[in-house]
Structure 1
Amino acid sequence: MKRDKSPTLPGSGATDYARYMRTDVLLGLQRQPDEVIHRDELLFQVVHQSSELWLKLAAAEVTETTARVTAGDLATAQALLTRAALAVRLVTDQLEMLGHLSPGDFQAMQPALGNGSGAESPGWRHVQAASRKLGRAFADHLAAHGTTAVDLRPADRADPACRLAETMVEWDERVALWRFRHYQVALRVGGHAPASTPNSSAAVLAKLVEHRFFPELWQARLHSPGTDPL
């Protein structure tokens, strides 16, 4: 007997897949053919809209990481933060698609973008806020156990705090790599003046590359006990 594949979930869409994934809404979020002024607007929107989705996931994972740290469950916190770092790596990889745009292409579609800037990304703002909360929660955890970041022994892989600290450094590094790649794309495709140019957009991006959410963990790598850096 042929299995009935009629949709059972509520909502619009011809299949349960379409209804659960809300594909009608998702695929309608891009500008329509009669709206675009340059064919590569679709590429530009897909890269940035999918980045917002990955950043939404990353921020959610970091938020839950913080909750797990507060609860003392560092092993689960580390696993969740590893997932967040992978999400940012995928966001970074997507920037390769923008390398297929020339400065001329980007300038041609610029009127459609208005005064929009990647700095206005809600996903990025949520990642920033969640990361700051994680840093405070981890510092509170260490203080409650009478220790500091400098006291962590990186060679002690049996210590959940050491393992989480290393993953926090990896998260910081992944975000920095994303910022650096974004900076390079801005120079190559966006036609921005180099960072050495005073008050240029690239100069602002270059400063962000150096930012760290957890500077105390990076500093601790210089002073931590043992021969191996954290």
Structure 2
Amino acid sequence: MTKKDYHDRIETPPMLDYGIYLQVDKLLTCQKPLAEMVNSDELQFQIVHQVEELWMKLIAYSLVDVLEYMEAQNTHRIVTLMGRVHRLMRMMTAQLDLLETMSPKEYQQIRLQLGNGSGQESPGFKLLLRMPPDLWQGFKTHYLDARGLSVADIYDAKYDHGDSYVVAEALVEFDELFQKFRAHHLYLIHRSIGLGSKSLKGRPVEILRGGADHRFFPELWDIRCEMTDAWGSTYGVVRESISGAKSAKA
């Protein structure tokens, strides 16, 4: 088979039941025709970002179900679905590595095809950014207020590793994985076009600081500092060394 023969087969494979059910013919037309690609990396660029949008669609769909299960206080279903979300976030982060196989020069050629677009305009990403307040309200209403508990209670004063705690930790893990995805994406930008690029939407330092400081559920992060400070007040900031050496700051 020639290169053209292979390309024809890639773009228009024969459809049997499996392909028809998954609408593979439509799926394969979501990328530019191979003959119109600006370089050999553009197909990868489009597919990676399209797959990211599909994963984010599934994450959003799963989180909507989580909200309903919060109302029903169905902890087992919440934990199962959040576990799915966590796996999806890890896959999203891992697959960004594919884009690091592009050279900066080849990426610039692809970037010219985007017009004024950037990843900050991602429909899926923007939707996910809107969901944490609803998740927090659902958790607070049904796993704190309805049970007469506070964040401090479930983590410290009344800690029992119960339903409220495990749901809180599922939210924390989602928060952590989402911020890791953002950080990984930032390093991808650093590697492909550089953080000092004038065309970036925002100053590099502001982007870094914003990503590092942002938290979906700050109350669930702050409690850790509060607990550590409270414990520290009982045993002191400086403790005796277990090795018998001179005491050092914690």
TM-score range, shorter chain: 0.7 to 0.9
- 2:248 aligns with none
Shift of the alpha carbon at 1:201? 5.1
Q: Structure 2 stretches of 5 or more lacking a match?
A: 1-13, 232-250
Q: Structure 1 stretches of 5 or more lacking a match?
A: 1-12
- 2:174 aligns with 171
Which of the pair is proportionally richer in helix?
Answer: 2
Shift of the alpha carbon at 1:153? 3.2
- 1:140 aligns with 141
Aligned length: 213
2:225 maps to 1:222:
yes
Shift of the alpha carbon at 1:206? 4.4
Query: In structure 2, what residue type is equivalent to 1:88?
Result: M
Listed one character per residue, the Cα deviations across residues 59-95 of structure 1 (whole Å, up to 9, x for unaligned) are 1111111110111112211211111111011000011
Query: In structure 2, what residue type is equivalent to 1:150?
Result: A
- 1:6 aligns with none
Q: Write out aligned runs for 1:92-107 (5 A).
A: 92-107=93-108
| Alignment RMSD | 2.4
- Cα distance in structure 1, aligned partners of 2:104 and 2:59: 30
Q: Retained in 1: the 8 A contact 2:82–2:174?
A: yes
Q: Retained in 2: the 8 A contact 1:103–1:191?
A: no
- 1:75 aligns with 76
Q: Retained in 1: the 8 A contact 2:15–2:25?
A: no
Q: Retained in 2: the 8 A contact 1:51–1:91?
A: yes
What SS is found at the alignment partner of 2:155?
coil
Larger radius of gyration: 2
Query: Normalising by structure 2, what TM-score?
Result: 0.78
Quick one: structure 1 residues 209 and 118, their matched pair in 2 at CA, closer, same or farther if it must change by over 3 Å?
farther
What SS is found at the alignment partner of 1:213?
coil
Listed one character per residue, the Cα deviations across residues 196-219 of structure 1 (whole Å, up to 9, x for unaligned) are x99425632541242111111111
Listed one character per residue, the Cα deviations across residues 149-180 of structure 1 (whole Å, up to 9, x for unaligned) are 121137623x1111111111111010011000
- Cα distance in structure 1, aligned partners of 2:129 and 2:22: 27
Listed one character per residue, the Cα deviations across residues 20-65 of structure 1 (whole Å, up to 9, x for unaligned) are 1110011111111232222211110111001111111111111111
Query: In structure 2, what residue type is equivalent to 1:50?
Result: V
Aligned identity (percent) is 33
Q: Retained in 2: the 8 A contact 1:187–1:202?
A: no
2:160 maps to 1:161:
no
What SS is found at the alignment partner of 1:153?
helix
Q: Which one is further off, 39-48 or 200-209?
A: 200-209
- 1:208 aligns with 211
Q: Which one is further off, 91-100 or 29-38?
A: 29-38
Q: Write out aligned runs for 1:17-96 (5 A).
A: 17-96=18-97
Q: Which one is further off, 104-113 or 145-154?
A: 145-154
Q: Which one is further off, 113-122 or 126-135?
A: 126-135
Quick one: structure 1 residues 148 and 121, their matched pair in 2 at CA, closer, same or farther if it must change by over 3 Å?
same
- 2:238 aligns with none
What SS is found at the alignment partner of 1:43?
helix
Query: Normalising by structure 1, what TM-score?
Result: 0.84
- 1:152 aligns with 154
- Cα distance in structure 2, aligned partners of 1:182 and 1:202: 15
Query: In structure 2, what residue type is equivalent to 1:149?
Result: V
